[in-house]
A and B are shown apart, each in its own frame.
Chain A
Amino acid sequence: NAGVTQTPKFRVLKTGQSMTLLCAQDMNHEYMYWYRQDPGMGLRLIHYSVGEGTTAKGEVPDGYNVSRLKKQNFLLGLESAAPSQTSVYFCASSTDRGYQPQHFGDGTRLSIL
């Protein structure tokens, strides 16, 4: 079972460039999440989705957009990348937004020069 798959695994961008990170899950989970992880800080929620066609803001949404056109996919977009967005991005999914754990992918390491 693949679980949660993130692509790409690594990427280097120049300031001002745009890109999209893809997350795919094969567990038929309704809920999906995007986090960023920075040194010395805990994982922080960027955006999340409670089902196909829905999105909502998390703790640190500025500079990011998301879309959930299909239940199994959750896309994270950076329209104009900034050095402050250099981070490791993790996608997660869960069966509900309450008592069940979230299952994480292995991350995308993004550097903005």
Chain B
Amino acid sequence: EDQVTQSPEALRLQEGESSSLNCSYTVSGLRGLFWYRQDPGKGPEFLFTLYSAGEEKEKERLKATLTKKESFLHITAPKPEDSATYLCAVQAHYGGSQGNLIFGKGTKLSVKP
């Protein structure tokens, strides 16, 4: 069964304190792994897509990496405006959920000034 597990569930950081969010997955042939940001009362906002192990993508203070079993979202010197829930989703090549996005439960990040 295709599955996505995100950890930790919640993370509190001080402004400037770098850290990483984890997304572990099991899937029948990974087509793509997606990171989204979700602010309270809003829909998920697309951040990155990763397709193969070893791939990395960056955007401002965020950097996403991918291995064969997990992805990390590294946050460097975070600011309060980075506070949000970060969602990870995978898309499978094969199986019953082929083509569908399978979402994790998310990591709620709070950055205090």
Contact = CB atoms under 8 A, between A and B. Distances in A.
7 contacts: A42-B105, A59-B100, A90-B43, A98-B99, A99-B31, A99-B32, A99-B51
Q: Which of B46, B49, B89, B101 has the most CB of A within 10 A?
A: B101
Given A43-B101, A97-B99, 8 more contacts: A41-B105, A42-B104, A90-B43, A90-B44, A98-B91, A102-B101, A104-B36, A107-B42
Interface residues of A, number: 22
B41 interface: yes
A51 interface: no
A70 B49 CA distance: 29
B34 interface: yes
B43 A104 contact: yes
Contacts of B34: 101-102
Interface of A: 4, 40-45, 48, 58-59, 90, 92, 97-99, 101-107
Overall SS of chain A's interface: loop
Interface residues of B, number: 25
Given A42-B4, A106-B41, A58 B32 contact: no
A58 B104 contact: no
Contact of B46 (A98, A99, A101): A101
Interface string B84-111: 0001010100000101111111100000
Nearest to B88: A42
A104 B31 CA distance: 20
Interface of B: 4, 31-32, 34, 36, 41-46, 49, 51, 87, 89, 91, 97, 99-106
B100 A45 contact: yes
A48 to B, nearest CB: 8
Contacts of A41: 105
Given A98-B31, A98-B32, A99-B49, A106 B103 contact: no
